[in-house]
Structure 1
């Protein structure tokens, strides 16, 4: 009788934790997107701080009570809007093709808001591994091995409009 009780008890705890993790991932991507829209994308330390703050931490590590999810699973993509005729499509900018600074992005956007060098959107995902189009889900890891419960966490994604991207207000740029 005791084994059945503990099996049911730990099963309910595990289900509750799984629901917590699934619901918290969306908040993690929302926080990261809100921070990334106003953070200098060319500053690696600032971007690492965005990832850490997104998982409610000030240092590298795991999301609280969600051990498989770490700050390294937070994928931040910068996107431009491609306009072909009347159709507009969001396209990820490869990291090697990003503008040199937020000021350069501002100048690019003033010149042509539909160019590849104009960051218009910020996309944040929680992925095990990611490419521009694919995102492999992070595997859920149960707390108690007594209750075998494993699945891929749903891919959470937030897309936000790029704001300052870390460019201080009132700073003139060398715009054409």
Structure 2
């Protein structure tokens, strides 16, 4: 069994996503106890909220107004995906190796009107803990999933993609399709 995929044993609720300039989005979040019942519930809520949000490939606790180092990712349905570990949640995640930087367009549910060109590593190793069991896991990935992981880790550190763009020239109005 893949240690990343844990049945949390609770049903998640869909939460409201906060938008910049909400203070929780620009403040580093504290680490959590991944085995705590409130963290397990938060993990389930993040996944439920991500699943009902069109185009969403990741969601961090600060985006639902909770200062905690918890996020979920699932890039499996995205057309730019090369490597995918499916739906998973990490607590207290940190980048342990990063290489091969590349600039690409990013968007964020907390900044709904803009996208930006952000330089990120395309090869990545991340270490974190799984909710419920608290097991330490290492995720080795690349391409779009690597970008998504870095984006969510940034949220937990109090950073938005806006903090990573090279300047106003790298920001774009989000395209809306009717």
TM-score normalized by structure 1? Answer: 0.29
Larger Rg: 1 or 2?
Answer: 1
Taking structure 2 as the reference length, what is the TM-score of the superposition? 0.28
- Bigger helix share: 1
